[in-house]
Every structure is written in structure tokens, then in C-alpha cells.
Structure 1
Amino acid sequence: MYVLLNNGLRSLGVLDALQTYPLQMKWSNAFQDECRTLAFWQDYLQEAEFENDVSLEDILVFCTGCDSIPALGFSPKPSLEFVTNCRFPVANTCENILRIPVHAVYTTFKSDMDFAIRNSPGFGRA
């Protein structure tokens, strides 16, 4: 069985790529998952602009603790990170970092984002 798998991977050049670039091959699936989640995030923001469930202001408060953009902007500049070990988003309002969960399905992503944001009103408002 192992020999067949080994020969199959070698015939397509995959085995050589795995051996030559182990770190790049290890993270290729994570990169694809993060790209998909980034697309989910963009869709989520667009929906928040037009729907009333969670507004852009709600998202801003969750991420930064502010209900409007400060006149001089944010310091530090808001950033986005991906997490795989948590189902819900986590925000660090001191560092303006939003950590969003990697999901395979948009409806699950949206549901978990909505739940976290709706259940944190009033926290950290500046």
C-alpha cells in the first residue's frame, strides 16, 4: 500500500515537491482556508452594510471598542488575523486586532460572527 502511494505521488511530482519544500507544502491548505475565510469576511461586511442583524457600527465596537472612527484614525492600525483553534471571533481592543475563525461554510461563519458580536454589546466602548 505504501509503495503504491509513494509511486503515485512520485509520478505527479508531488513527492519531490513535498521533500524539497516541506514548509510551503504544509501551509498550502491553511493558505487556501484563510483565503476562503477572507472572502467570507468581505461578504459579511457587505451584508452588515445593508442588513440590520449586525451593523458595521456593531462590528467596529466589537473590534476596537469605539463606536466611530477617531478623527486622527486608529493607533495602532486595525488588523485581521486567522484562528483555527476557536469557533468564534476574538477581538483585542487595545491592539485593534480582530481574530476571525477559519470556517469551511459561510453560513456557519456568519452565524458564529453574529453570535459573538451580538453577545458583547457595551464591552470596551471608548
Structure 2
Amino acid sequence: HSTVFITSPELLEIKSSRTLANLKSTISDCSEYLIIAGCLRPMTTLCDKDMLVNDLLIYHVIKRVHSPFESFRQGLKMLGVLEKIQLHPDAFSSILCHKPERLSARVLGDLFTIHCLSDVNKVKGVDFWMGYLQDVEGGESAATLEDILVFATGSSSVPPIGFEPDPSVKFLRIKYPVGNRQLNSLELPITKTYEQFKNKMDFAISNGLRLELE
């Protein structure tokens, strides 16, 4: 799990050390950081770095946040809120704990800003796009609403702070849909009929996600 929490350049350098000499040199360069973290220790083998990395993760994830957390806890206690939370945890969970919004055709329709080459194509494109979302929500497609979001953004739910940049749909003269996760965008083909549009969407999304799993 260390790769999930590594954020500091010093920790990354220690983690990536390939020889004992390199490890000792890195530790010497960042000794002040290690002293502050309370993790400075002698290294006798390259394997010692794993224990050091674990100690640093504990420092970053637990020890560093303990003081602010305790201060926050004392503030809640003074106001009488902490006691209420402890007595009625279920009542406060919806306020204090984020739950991803349930995806629907309306949610995705509002989430994606639509861009198009012309007003004529935009009208047809919007109709096809919204019709497809309705079909997906109704189970009349090979894809799911979560699949569409993953295809475009890499995420299966909307983050609490939203996406950056905002998700968008672009209608272009291309053969098949393309998901650009760096831009949170969908590039969709301009087709003559809805059936063509739906088939291309199902094919691109289902096959794209299947290839990722393989």
C-alpha cells in the first residue's frame, strides 16, 4: 500500500534506492526531514529501507494529522457536537461522510458540457447523446452509466469536489467514440441515424473497458 500514500520527494527517493550506497547517500541528504519525522535510523542493508518507508508512511498518514484531528475533536466536544455524533452516528453519517451520487441519465447529461461543429449537428448530436443515456439507464445497452463515466474520466463516480477539467462531449467527424481521460472528454461520431450512434457507442465503450481488464 506504500505507493498509494507516497507524496514527498524524499520518501520517493528512499523507496527507489537500488543500492545500499545510494540509500545511505539519500538518507544523508534528507536527514533533517527524517529527524523531524522521528525516523532517522542507521541502514545496514538495502532491505532496511522498507521499514524506513513504513515508518515514514505512519508519520505522514497518522502522526502528522493526529494533532489537527485532536484539535478538531476538542472543538466538537466543547460545542457539545461530539457527544451527539457518538450517540447518533447514523444521523450524522449523511452529513459528515461523502456518498457518491447515484448516476442517472439526468446526472450525466448535466455533467457533460456539449460542444459541436455546427448548430445542425449539435441538435442531432444532443438528441442522440441524451437518447443513448436514457437507453443505458433503462438497461437497453451493453454499457452502463458507470462504464460511460469510466470511459471518459477514468472514475466510476463523481468526486465530491467535481472533475478538473469539467467533463465535455464533442461531436466530430470520426468513426468511433474516443474517451480522453486527461481532459475528461468524450469525442463522439456524427452519424445519420440513432441506431448507428448507439452501436458505435456500445462497441467502443464495451471493448475499450474489456481491453483494459485484459
Q: Does 1:58 align with 2:147?
A: yes
Identify, as 1 or 2, the structure richer in helix.
2
Aligned to 2:194: 106
**Partner SS for 1:110:** helix
Distance 1:89 1:83 in 2: 9
1:37 Cα shift? 1.6
SS in 2 for 1:108: helix
**Alignment of 1:95 onto 2:183:** yes
TM-score normalised by structure 1 residue count = 0.69
CA distance in 2, matches of 1:76, 1:34: 21
Deviations 1:39-76 (A, max 9, x none): 00000001111115211001000011101111111111
4+ residue segments displaced more than 3 Å: 122-125
Q: Which has the larger radius of gyration?
A: 2
Distance 1:67 1:122, change over 3 A: farther
1:33 Cα deviation from its structure 2 partner: 2.4
Query: Superposed, which structure 2 residues align to 1:54-93 within 5 Å?
Result: 54-84=143-173, 86-93=174-181
Q: For structure 2, list consecutive stretches of 5 or more residues without a partner in the other structure.
A: 1-116
The answer to whether residue 156 in structure 2 is matched with residue 38 in structure 1 is no
Contact 1:82–1:102 (CA under 8 A) maintained in structure 2: yes
Call closer, same or farther: CA 1:123–1:94 in 2, change over 3 Å. Answer: farther
TM-score, normalised relative to structure 2: 0.42
CA RMSD of aligned residues (A): 2.1
CA contact (8 A) 1:65 1:123 kept: no
Unmatched 5+ stretches in structure 1: 1-28
1:30 Cα deviation from its structure 2 partner: 4.1
Q: Secondary structure at the match of 1:95?
A: coil
Give the fraction of aligned pairs with identical amino acids, expressed as a percent: 40
Rounded Cα–Cα distance in structure 2 between residues aligned with 1:94 and 1:48: 24
